[in-house]
Amino acid sequence: MSELLDLAGIFVFALSGALMGVRKRLDVVGMAVLAEITALGGGLVRDLILNVRPAAFQSLGYVLVPLAATVIVFFWHPHVARVMPAILVLDAAGLGLFCAVGTAKAMEYGLSPLHASLLGVTSAVGGGMLRDVLAGEIPTLLYDRQLYAVPALVGSAAMAGLSAYGLHGWPATLAAAVLAFGLRIAAMRRNWRAPLARGVGD
Amino acid sequence: MSELLDLAGIFVFALSGALMGVRKRLDVVGMAVLAEITALGGGLVRDLILNVRPAAFQSLGYVLVPLAATVIVFFWHPHVARVMPAILVLDAAGLGLFCAVGTAKAMEYGLSPLHASLLGVTSAVGGGMLRDVLAGEIPTLLYDRQLYAVPALVGSAAMAGLSAYGLHGWPATLAAAVLAFGLRIAAMRRNWRAPLARGVGD
Amino acid sequence: MSELLDLAGIFVFALSGALMGVRKRLDVVGMAVLAEITALGGGLVRDLILNVRPAAFQSLGYVLVPLAATVIVFFWHPHVARVMPAILVLDAAGLGLFCAVGTAKAMEYGLSPLHASLLGVTSAVGGGMLRDVLAGEIPTLLYDRQLYAVPALVGSAAMAGLSAYGLHGWPATLAAAVLAFGLRIAAMRRNWRAPLARGVGD
Nearest Cα residue in chain B from A194? B27
Task: Express as a percent the part of chain A with pLDDT over 70.
Answer: 98
Give the C-side interface with B, CB within 8 Å.
21-22, 24-31, 33-34, 44, 48, 51-54, 57-58, 60, 63, 73-78, 133-136
Please answer yes or no on whether A28 and C194 come within 8 Å at the CB atom: yes
Write down the pLDDT at residue B82: 76
Confidence of residue A160 (pLDDT cuts 50, 70, 90): very high
Q: Count structural domains, chain A.
A: 1
B144 falls within a domain? yes
Q: What is the pLDDT of residue B202?
A: 58
- Chain B interface, best mutation among C20, C33, C74, by max B CB count within 10 A: C33
Which one of B26, B45, B134 makes the best mutation probe of the A interface by having the most chain A beta carbons within 10 Å?
B26
Q: Which residues of chain A are within 8 Å of residue C51 when distances are taken between CB atoms?
A: 51-53
Range from A70-79, B95-104, C106-115, C129-138 carrying the lowest mean pLDDT:
A70-79
Question: pLDDT class for A78, splitting at 50, 70, 90?
Answer: confident
State residue C105's pLDDT score: 93
The answer to whether residue A178 sits within a structural domain is yes
Q: What is the pLDDT of residue C202?
A: 58
Q: Which residues of C touch B115 (CB under 8 A)?
A: 57-58, 63
**Which tens digits make up the pLDDT trace of C47-75?**
999 999 999 999 999 999 999 999 999 99
Q: Which domain range does residue B118 map to?
A: 2-189
Helix (H) or strand (E) holding B63, with range, is helix B60-82
CB atoms C197 and A28 under 8 Å = yes
| Residue B148 domain-assigned (yes or no) | yes
Looking at A90-94, A120-124, C122-126, C131-135, which range is the least confident one? A90-94
By mean pLDDT, which of A10-24, A70-84, A106-120, B170-184 is the weakest?
A: A70-84
Phi/psi at A169 (5° precision):
90, 170
C186-196 pLDDT, tens digit each: 999 999 999 99
**What's the whole-number average pLDDT of chain A?**
91
Domain contains C200: no
Per-residue confidence (pLDDT) for residue B88, from 0 to 100: 84
Spell out, as residue ranges, where chain B has pLDDT lower than 50: none
B100: closest CA of chain C, how far (Å): 17
d(CA A130, CA B163): 37
Spell out the residues 6+ positions from residue B9 whose beta carbon is closer than 8 angstroms to its own: B93, B94, B97, B98, B101
Q: Which amino acid is at A195?
A: P
Structure ipTM: 0.92
pLDDT at C201 over 70: no
All residues at 6 or more sequence positions from B25 whose CB lies less than 8 Å from its CB, including other chains = A196, A200
Which is nearest to C200 in space by CA: A135, A68, A18? A18
Distance of CA C113 to the CA centre of its chain: 20
* Minimal C-alpha gap between B145 and chain C (Å): 6
What would the pLDDT profile of B117-152 be if each residue is shown by its tens digit? 999 999 999 999 999 999 999 999 998 899 999 999
Nearest to C134 by CA among C63, C51, C41, C199: C41
Which of A53, A77, A133 lies nearest to residue C197, judging by beta carbons? A77
Structural domain includes residue B197: no
Query: Do the chains contact at C27 and B193, CB–CB below 8 Å?
Result: yes
Question: Which one is predicted more confidently, A48 or B5?
Answer: A48
CA distance C118 to C103: 8
- Judge whether residue A82 has pLDDT over 80: no
In chain B, the residue whose alpha carbon lies closest to the alpha carbon of A126 is: B33
Using alpha carbons, select from C91, C86, C101, C79 the residue that is nearest to residue C17: C91
| Residue of B24, B27, B76 to mutate, testing the A interface (most A Cβ within 10 Å of its Cβ) | B27
> What pLDDT does B23 receive?
87
Q: What is the pLDDT of residue C1?
A: 61
- Whether A68 is covered by a domain: the verdict is yes
The tens digit of pLDDT for each residue in A136-155 reads 999 999 988 999 999 999 99
Q: How far is A114 from chain B (nearest CA, A)?
A: 8
Give me the pLDDT at residue B86, please. Answer: 74
Spatial separation of the C-alpha atoms in residues B114 and C60, rounded to whole Å: 8
CB A181 within 8 A of CB A93: yes
The CA-based diameter of chain A, rounded to the nearest angstrom, is: 51
- Candidates A24, A33, A79, A132: best to mutate against C (most CBs of C within 10 A) is A33
Residues C13-30 have a mean pLDDT of: 92
Residue B11 lies in a domain: yes
Cβ within 8 Å, pair B27-A129: no
Residue of B nearest to C78 (CA): B199
Scanning every residue of chain B, which has its alpha carbon at the shortest distance from the alpha carbon of A50? B53
**Is C35 inside a domain boundary?**
yes
Specify the pLDDT at position B201. Answer: 65
For residues A67 and A74, what is the distance between their CA atoms, to the nearest angstrom? 10
